[in-house]
């Protein structure tokens, strides 16, 4: 099975690669369109700023590549936010896979939201019942609203989408690669998805 991690100007690619290696997967890290489109599964990670990252994706036409993928795709953190319609970060039009808006947390509590938080109201796909209410690791200042594509919920200041799912596209706001055994189980669930 060929698992590709999309290489672009956003961080945490190596930590995702190491997490996959820990569960017995040797991923390919690439920005070559043919390698991405021919993969069995694609992971779109990200740590960074939405507007500059989206500009880079458009320059390389990776935004269109991602949107047109037919195999299972997993977006992580900024990757998830860029799969939404719009982000308040830099007033950015995003890829538009999920019909969700990404908003900045009101600073009623500490922002960024950083650390462990429970995930609940889980949908099948990435999740199974034993993950309900377990804790995952978050680091972010922007969040996707709740909506029809919400696949998991977390509460910090307000309830928001901890994960999204639509057709062959899956995404997590939290970092499964930094979420210990729970994150490893979620990555294994993604590897097992059949479409």
Q: What residues are annotated to the active site?
A: 77, 175, 177
The residues with which 102 forms a beta bridge, in sequence order, are 87, 144
Q: How many residues does the chain have?
A: 195
- State how far the Cα of 110 lies from the Cα of 166, in Å rounded to an integer: 31
Q: Which residues contact 58 (CB under 8 A, 6 or more apart)?
A: none
- State how far the Cα of 184 lies from the Cα of 175, in Å rounded to an integer: 10
């Amino acid at each position: 099975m060929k698992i590709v991690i999309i290489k672009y100007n956003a961080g945490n690619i190596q930590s995702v690669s190491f997490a996959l290696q820990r569960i017995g997967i040797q991923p390919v890290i690439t920005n070559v369109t043919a390698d991405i489109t021919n993969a069995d599964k694609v992971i779109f990670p990200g740590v960074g700023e939405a507007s500059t990252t989206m500009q880079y994706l458009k320059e390389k036409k990776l935004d269109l590549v991602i949107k047109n993928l037919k195999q299972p795709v997993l977006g992580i953190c900024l990757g998830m936010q860029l799969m939404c319609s719009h982000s308040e970060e830099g007033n950015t039009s995003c890829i538009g896979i999920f019909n969700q808006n990404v908003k900045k947390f009101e600073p009623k509590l500490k922002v960024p939201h950083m650390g462990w938080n429970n995930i609940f109201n889980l949908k099948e796909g990435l999740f199974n019942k034993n993950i309900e209410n377990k804790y995952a690791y978050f680091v972010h200042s922007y969040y996707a609203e709740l909506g029809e594509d919400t696949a998991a919920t977390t509460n910090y200041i307000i309830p928001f989408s901890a994960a999204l799912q639509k057709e062959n596209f899956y995404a997590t706001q939290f970092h499964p690669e930094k979420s210990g055994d729970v994150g490893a189980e979620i990555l294994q669930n993604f590897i097992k998805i059949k479409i």
